[in-house]
A and B are shown apart, each in its own frame.
Chain A
């Protein structure tokens, strides 16, 4: 029983991590229709920034996260101006390939700069709280979960209440109509992308004490972000939280009941979940910002 309870805790904690990992990806896809195949690499860059702060100046990732956010917003803005602008409204193949190009460029730059060694940032919020015999809460993950829920609520409020947020949603629903009623689409896209990359960088910073920071950590993260988003509905903030929790719990339960399963096989699990979800329910489970239909006939 306590094993099960522990798996439950682990699953929710993992879900928190996935939530913050997926939000940026989901909103970019939902609003701009661009599948950011370099998502995992933006996470990786954020993680490297936090690791540098931790390693060089001994700054806790939870403290450096806002700075990472600002840096990544700038970076995101640059990438948007330089590249993403050119691929919006092009076929999804074009945007997939261009973003894939970005992903291998970032991998390469990071490998050249920092080598392929595995790094971990240090945080003071570590260790575990003991609830009972063999039942603990991992502290770092707990705080990641807290931040994730906070960010989800904030993003939800921002999209739902603020003027800019409403423009973003309008642009996602119907670009032309939004343009006609005076929404500056280019600005909306630039802001959305920059903001989402900022968020993605924060996700990287927060997981830098948990997941080995290395140049090639990105692709599995992108894959999971894709799986969760496709299941949860594009650009749906609440859906992202729900989908991330489902994936986290599935992985934690698998780790509990299946022998010898590592985090690697969790990729298999999320993939099977993804294909099953898409084939069975092509329009997603939650209502997203953008209508989708993943099957061909």
Chain B
């Protein structure tokens, strides 16, 4: 068995942690100051706001996908539900129910609706494991989008709903920046609580966690509902800024793909991973893919395959030795080259079928 080699890993990790912390702080300062500079246009602010949205959704996805090990292939559904719930409450469009609420309560209720639905749906789908859960969530996503399309008295159908314009970009920008910072801090804190550790235990061995007294059903549904609520909040905010929703722009597969890919790229099941990955992915798209619009999906597909096959531990994995390797989720444990250590004494036999 190989013990810790190469000096004291603890100090190396702490050093890496300090580097990450300093970088994050610097990035935060830039993000806070940027809108105050005279040259910053509304378009730039919108771009940055969308980046923050993307980061926020990735953080939420990582809560279930990375920590708890339930890989949600339909996470964008909560974004769409939040967006629609808020839009329905705000819109005075003649093809909708014309509720006409003030945006603030509407956005809050929008997020709550997403959270409640996530609790209800998660209660059922989280009884499934591995790929079954993933595909059930993909199904939920497609199904909800179709329901929204058909249920036109409430949702305006395929035509969509228009919202009254409100264009204070700066307010939204700072709001979302604050949200992302709080969310990141929250994830970091959560990971260090007993609850957060229990989530990782569920990922590692659900039956084991259950027999050791962890109420796995409640814990995993709780975190799933929270992720739904939080993504729903980003959706509701997006809807109001976008001043328009229809089924095809509120429910977009790409939002899930981005969350999954961003988290993978950064490092699955780590706190910094989704933030780093989603940021890199967002700028890759803005800078590179804007110039080859048609090949956007193509490059994204190639990138996904490359990440999964060749950088399974993500960017954070290059620094932090303890992030969960994607290869080691879902029962197929211990074969990733970096982590596998032959245990001569144990003579273990790893069987995979």
Contacts and interface: CB of A to CB of B under 8 A. Distances in A.
Interface of A: 33, 35, 83, 86-87, 89-94, 96-98, 100-105, 107-109, 111-112, 174-176, 219-220, 223, 226-227, 230, 260, 262, 264-265, 267-268, 270-272, 274-275, 278-279, 282, 294-297
Contact of B297 (A92, A104, A279, A294): A104
Contact of B146 (A97, A111, A268, A275): A268
5 contacts: A96-B131, A105-B302, A108-B301, A260-B150, A296-B128
Indicate the size class of the contact surface on chain B.
35 or more
B132 A294 contact: yes
Contacts, number: 153
A29 to B, nearest CB: 9
B309 A93 contact: no
B135 A112 contact: no
Contacts of A89: 332, 352
B294 interface: yes
B353 A175 contact: yes
Contacts of B352: 89
B222 interface: no
B139 A227 contact: yes
Interface in B299-353: 300-305, 308-309, 312, 326-332, 351-353
B327 A265 contact: no
Q: Shortest 8 CB-CB distances between A and B: which pairs?
A: A271-B139, A108-B297, A105-B301, A91-B332, A108-B298, A101-B304, A101-B305, A104-B301
A98 B139 contact: no
Contacts of B134: 93, 96
Nearest to B298: A108
The dominant DSSP class at the B interface is: helix
Contacts of B73: 96
B12 interface: no
Contacts of B312: 94
A279 B304 contact: no
Main secondary structure of the interface of A (DSSP, over half): helix
Contacts of A33: 353
A178 B71 CA distance: 32
Interface string B277-299: 00000000000000000111110
Contact of B124 (A35, A87, A275): A275
B264 A107 contact: no
Contacts of A176: 351, 353
Contacts of A35: 131, 135
A87 to B, nearest CB: 8
A175 B353 CA distance: 7
A152 B338 CA distance: 44
Given A93-B326, A94-B326, A223-B139, A101 B128 contact: no
Contact of B304 (A97, A174, A275): A97
B120 to A, nearest CB: 13
Nearest to A83: B305
Given A83-B305, A104-B257, A91 B326 contact: yes
A198 to B, nearest CB: 23
B304 A100 contact: yes
Given A91-B326, A108-B295, 8 more contacts: A93-B131, A94-B309, A101-B301, A101-B304, A101-B305, A176-B353, A275-B125, A294-B132
